[in-house]
Amino acid sequence: MSKKLGDLLVEQGRITPLELQEALRAQRIFGGSLGTHLLQLGFVSESELGAALEEVHGVPAVGRAELLAAPPGVFALLPADFARRHRALPFRVEGDELLLALQNPADTLALHEAAFLTGFRVVPHIAPEAVIRDALGAHLRRDAAAAPAAPPVRDVTTGPMRAAGPSPGDRAPAPPGRPPAAAVDTNPVIVSPARPPARPPGAPSPPPARPEVPDDEESPTAALRHPAAAHGATVGPDGPGPGDPLAAVGRRLAAASSRDEVLAIALEEMAAHFPRVCAFALRGREAVLWRSAGLPRTPSRPIAIPLDESSVLSFPDEGPAVRYGPVAATAANQDLYILLGGRIPRVALVVPVQVKKRTVVVLYGDDPEGTSRPPDFVRARRLAALTAWALEAVILRGKILRESGA
């Protein structure tokens, strides 16, 4: 590259140095390309970004409309796996040339692989990361909608028709000689049952005690009895009102104008219930400590923590479940708490925040002294949903401003 993208945009007067610094900070926290964050923050338009990328990389730029209009036959020249791996999308054929849009047109491996797979001479074009991602998603959804449905088959044991393949409830039998695997509790909760007093010999058995019904706001299974609560809705008959526990937080999140402000509000809510809290932004296989409270010392710079399957911050299945329970003394967790400047707590609360079904932020809280009450699980799930919507709203607000030219 002859010149960096950010420097070129500042030189052209498209953005200010302060806007460049804000976009670079967002990139350090959330990952991705600088151009994507400039778009999401509303600092440049797609056409302005495309023109700058064309000058930086020295190859022609291609826009969103042309990528979305790529004929299905051209898109099918390369497998979907190739498009995902290389962030590349074929969009036109001209004679013996295949025009290929790439996020990184200097990816020679992608160019050689595309030429080998198609037999065409590949001509690279540049497009912003967000444009390629959206166009690729649109083509994959179109192909999935056009694919024929699986033929129905009759289940002779139950009679009704169902689609071919195992249903969600089907389980494969355990291999001979091996006991079936125990179910895994994805939302463990510490429970200390009281031991009943010893009954003297010959004394009559006491009548069975009526089971105590836990308070919905403290029970991790409240969402099972009130399904709407799992989606952030209030379980009361009249809906949320001024006295709703998260009403004030919701109003602040709705008014937030930046991702930093959204995460600051969410972390403040966590700090009201735990003496030590952190907000981590997930970036690839790293968790970046964005902000914290209650640590022995405040880090002077962002801390990037490698994620491992045995880490309390890892979500290998990308599941959205809130987790609360004991912290295992694994090597990954020991390294994490050394960086946080304290010992491993007895229990911790981990709240993933998902945007477009991908965990982008993890809210974390614990009590090293072990004196805090169990968390409010319904409230934690609702906070995660509200935070995710607020983050999406910030992105959409930037897109509206960008597209309207405001």
For the segment 87-104, the average pLDDT, to the nearest whole number, is 93
Task: Retrieve residue 243's tokens.
Answer: 């006295």
Sign of the CA dihedral running 254, 256, 258, 264: negative
- Looking at mean pLDDT, say which of 82-91, 333-342, 368-377 comes out highest: 82-91
Sheet containing strand 276-283, edge to edge, reads 303-306, 286-293, 276-283, 358-366, 347-355, 323-326
Q: Which residue has the higher pLDDT, 170 or 372?
A: 372
Give the per-residue pLDDT at 198. 53
Task: Retrieve residue 31's tokens.
Answer: 């990952």
Cα atoms in the Cβ-side hemisphere of radius 13 Å centred on 73: 1
Give the per-residue pLDDT at 170. 42
* Sequential DSSP letters for 249-309: HHHHHHH--SHHHHHHHHHHHHHTT-SEEEEEEEETTEEEEEEEES-SS--SS-EEEE--T
**Is beta strand 161-163 parallel, antiparallel or unpaired with respect to 152-154?**
antiparallel
Q: Which residue has the higher pLDDT, 347 or 6?
A: 6
For the segment 95-114, the average pLDDT, to the nearest whole number, is 90
Which region among 41-50, 99-108, 160-169 has the lowest average model confidence (pLDDT)? 160-169
Give the per-residue pLDDT at 383. 92
- The domain 5-146: what is its CATH number? 3.30.300.160
Every domain of the chain and the residues it spans: 5-146, 248-404
In Å, what is the CA distance from 21 to each residue of 38, 256, 277? Answer: 10, 20, 27
- Looking at mean pLDDT, say which of 29-43, 78-92, 137-151, 219-233 comes out highest: 78-92
Same fold, 5-146 and 248-404: no
Give the per-residue pLDDT at 121. 92
For the segment 113-131, the average pLDDT, to the nearest whole number, is 90
- State how far the Cα of 84 lies from the Cα of 66, in Å rounded to an integer: 19
Report residue 302's pLDDT band, with 50, 70 and 90 as the boundaries: low
Phi, psi of 291 (to 5 degrees): -155, 155
For the segment 186-207, the average pLDDT, to the nearest whole number, is 44
For the segment 94-99, the average pLDDT, to the nearest whole number, is 92
Give the per-residue pLDDT at 160. 35
- State the fold for domain 248-404: Beta-Lactamase (3.30.450)
- State how far the Cα of 285 lies from the Cα of 332, in Å rounded to an integer: 13
List of residues 6+ apart from 181 with CB closer than 8 A: 174
pLDDT tens, position by position, 161-192:
333 344 444 444 444 444 444 333 333 333 33
- 186-193 long-range contacts, Cβ below 8 Å, gap at least 24? 186/319, 186/321, 186/323, 187/220, 187/321, 187/322, 187/323, 187/324, 187/377, 188/323, 188/324, 188/325, 188/326, 189/220, 189/324, 189/325, 189/374, 190/324, 190/325, 190/326, 190/347, 190/374
For the segment 223-231, the average pLDDT, to the nearest whole number, is 31
pLDDT tens, position by position, 318-364:
456 788 877 777 777 877 887 777 778 878 889 999 888 888 899 99
- Please determine, for residue 217, whether its predicted confidence score (pLDDT) is greater than 70: no
The answer to whether 85 and 113 are in contact (CB under 8 A) is: no
